[in-house]
Structure 1
Amino acid sequence: MEKVTPFLMFQDGKAEEAMNFYISLISDSQITGIVRYGANDSGDEGTVMQAAFTLKGQEFMCIDSNVKHQFSFTPSFSIYVTCDTEEELDNLYQKLNEGGQALMPLGDYGFSKKFGWLNDRFGVSWQLNLPI
Structure 2
Amino acid sequence: MDKVIPFLMFQEGKAEEAMNYYTSLIEDSEITSIHRYGANDAGKEGTVFQATFTLKGQEFMCIDSHVKHAFSFTPSFSIYVACTTEEEIDELYGKLKDDGGHPLMPLGNYGFSKKFGWLNDRFGISWQINFV
Normalised by the shorter chain, which TM-score bucket? over 0.9
Name structure 1 gaps, 5 residues minimum: none
Q: Distance in 1 between matches of 2:67 and 2:95?
A: 29
Corresponding residue SS for 2:13 = coil
- Number of aligned residues: 131
Q: Distance in 2 between matches of 1:126 and 1:9?
A: 16
Q: Which residue is equivalent to 1:25?
A: 25
Alignment identity in percent?
78
State the TM-score, normalizing by the size of structure 2.
0.98
Q: Distance in 1 between matches of 2:50 and 2:123?
A: 17
Q: Which residue is equivalent to 1:11?
A: 11
The amino acid across from 1:41 in the alignment is: D
The amino acid across from 1:51 in the alignment is: A
Structure 1 residue 106, shift from structure 2 partner: 0.4
Q: Deviations over 1:78-132 (max 9, x none)?
A: 000000111100110011112121000000001112000000000000000002x
Summarize the alignment of residues 1-132 of structure 1 with structure 2, pairs less than 5 Å apart: 1-97=1-97, 98-131=99-132
Name structure 2 gaps, 5 residues minimum: none
Q: Distance in 1 between matches of 2:81 and 2:118?
A: 10
The amino acid across from 1:48 in the alignment is: V
Q: Distance in 2 between matches of 1:24 and 1:90?
A: 16
Corresponding residue SS for 1:53 = strand
Q: Distance in 2 between matches of 1:38 and 1:100?
A: 32
State the TM-score, normalizing by the size of structure 1.
0.98
Q: Distance in 2 between matches of 1:102 and 1:8?
A: 20
Q: Distance in 2 between matches of 1:84 and 1:73?
A: 27
Corresponding residue SS for 2:31 = strand
Q: Distance in 2 between matches of 1:92 and 1:12?
A: 25
